[in-house]
Amino acid sequence: MEEIKKRKVAILGSSGSIGTQALEVINEQAHLFEVEVLTVNRSADLLIEQAKKFKPNAVVIVDETQYQKVNDALFEEDIMVYAGAAALEQVVQFKQVDIVLTALVGYAGLKPTIAAINAGKDIALANKETLVVAGELVMNLAKEKGVNIFPVDSEHSAIFQCLTGEYMNPIEKIVLTASGGPFRGKTTEELKTVTKAQALKHPNWDMGAKITIDSASLMNKGLEVIEARWLFDLKPEQIDVIVHPQSIIHSLVQFEDGSMKAQLGLPDMKLPIQYAMGFPKRLKNNFTRFNFLDYPQLTFEAPDKKTFRNLTLAFKALDQGGNMPCILNAANEVAVAAFLDDKVGFLQMSDVIEACMNDAQFIAKPQLEDYVSTDTEARAITNRIIETL
């Protein structure tokens, strides 16, 4: 019997929700995958634990102050240890790496993803901000290098799955589903006093703090709209959002004949992670199966764009194009951090983001260096705005 060649995976952000679940998938599918690289920002203890279990070739601890701790702990494991953000761009280029799972949160995912694409590595993309910030540049580069980008977000994975085998059939529109988050149905008045503890309690998904707050404010869905525009080469008017509180239908595609295809399943990120890493094969697993009788009603409603203004701001940034989505993303990252630090209120985040979009320099046709400078400028502007509140 012919031996199966294992796919060697580099996981950028192995301490986060996506990264840890990806390691669960690899552990369950150990005959198909092995870990080549693990990286974390500052979770040194978890990185050491993961490295001792999965035996990667190399690890990166971005927080350079913890390099010695990680290096000492792994000295006898024959694992290379690197430190600093620049190392992320180096390890993704290792010859042995077959696929890079970008599970970093925020703008930090952009440069390592570009480095991986330049090295000809396929990408399992869980970092939506990479395409929000520089979607046109990244997708053009992937096409030029012959690199596949497999979406890991549940919504984009759903669209990708629905489109498999349909390459000859043009899309009329796609519909991204949103749970509505913990504040679905709340009024503006009620949202004035919500706490971060309330915002961090997502009804369906287990995610990191930043993404959970984005979900509560509907910014996460706005970022997904921008990501979808580039992943699937769509116009903004071809993308709809519908609130689906049960999170069973992960998204839908409507074709030119009016027929629709949807991908359904329980809210479990391990399935889209596995699908991206194993594509084109659907790998047998022991995940909990969906039962229609457990969900006798699947409901849908329009998103409240007036109360949750971030979704409107995201569509506005997408319509304007250029570096405006980059401005939106940078302002949002700073605003969310400020909310988590009790410096701004929940509704104030939208005010802060909109003010930054109005103040930052607009560039119609940005290059990579423009995105870098825009990110820096937008963060500085947003911090100044927050200081005046």
Dist CA 57 CA 11 (whole Å): 12
Half-sphere exposure of 84 (CA within 13 A, CB side): 5
Across the range 147-159, mean pLDDT stands at 97
Q: How far apart are the first and last CA of the chain?
A: 68
Cα 348 to its chain centre, rounded Å, is 24
Secondary structure (DSSP) of 165-185 = T-TTS-EEEEEEEE---TTTT
Dist CA 389 CA 386 (whole Å): 5
pLDDT of residue 42: 95
258-263-264-266 Cα dihedral, nearest 10 degrees: -150
Pick the CATH number of 7-151 from 3.30.300.30, 3.40.50.720, 3.40.30.10, 3.40.50.2300: 3.40.50.720
pLDDT of residue 306: 94
Across the range 276-280, mean pLDDT stands at 96
The SS3 of residue 293 is: helix
| pLDDT tens-place string over residues 285-326 | 999 999 999 999 999 999 999 999 999 999 999 999 999 999
Strand pairing partners for 252? 175, 262
Cis amide linkage into residue 280, ω under 30° from 0 = yes
Q: What percent of the chain has pLDDT over 90?
A: 93
Across the range 367-382, mean pLDDT stands at 97
Across the range 155-174, mean pLDDT stands at 97
Q: Does the pLDDT of residue 201 top 90, yes or no?
A: no
pLDDT of residue 1: 44
Q: Where are the domains of the chain?
A: 7-151
Spatial CB neighbours of 299, under 8 Å, sequence gap ≥ 6:
244, 245, 246
CB of 43 closer than 8 Å to CB of 16:
no
CB of 232 closer than 8 Å to CB of 253:
no
Q: Give burial (CB, 10 Å; 0-12/13-18/19+) of 82.
A: buried
Strand pairing partners for 175? 240, 252
DSSP run (H or E) holding 59 = strand 58-61
| pLDDT tens-place string over residues 182-191 | 999 999 999 9
Spatial CB neighbours of 15, under 8 Å, sequence gap ≥ 6:
40, 41, 43, 46, 47, 50
Dist CA 96 CA 10 (whole Å): 10
Q: Does the pLDDT of residue 3 top 70, yes or no?
A: no
Dist CA 329 CA 194 (whole Å): 23
Q: What percent of the chain has pLDDT over 70?
A: 98
Structure tokens belonging to residue 253? 């595609």
Average pLDDT, the chain: 95
Structure tokens belonging to residue 122? 């396929």
Dist CA 76 CA 331 (whole Å): 43
| pLDDT tens-place string over residues 317-352 | 999 999 999 999 999 999 999 999 999 999 999 999
pLDDT of residue 205: 64
Query: Closest by alpha carbon to 204, among 185, 219, 184, 175?
Result: 184
Across the range 236-263, mean pLDDT stands at 97
Q: Does the pLDDT of residue 273 top 70, yes or no?
A: yes
Interstrand relation of 171-178 and 249-255 (parallel, antiparallel or unpaired): antiparallel
Dist CA 161 CA 148 (whole Å): 14
CB of 374 closer than 8 Å to CB of 327:
yes
pLDDT of residue 105: 87
For the chain, how big is the Rg over CA atoms in Å? 20
Across the range 5-28, mean pLDDT stands at 96
Query: Closest by alpha carbon to 277, among 119, 149, 143?
Result: 149
pLDDT of residue 202: 74
Spatial CB neighbours of 164, under 8 Å, sequence gap ≥ 6:
280
| pLDDT tens-place string over residues 52-88 | 999 999 999 999 999 999 999 999 999 999 999 999 9
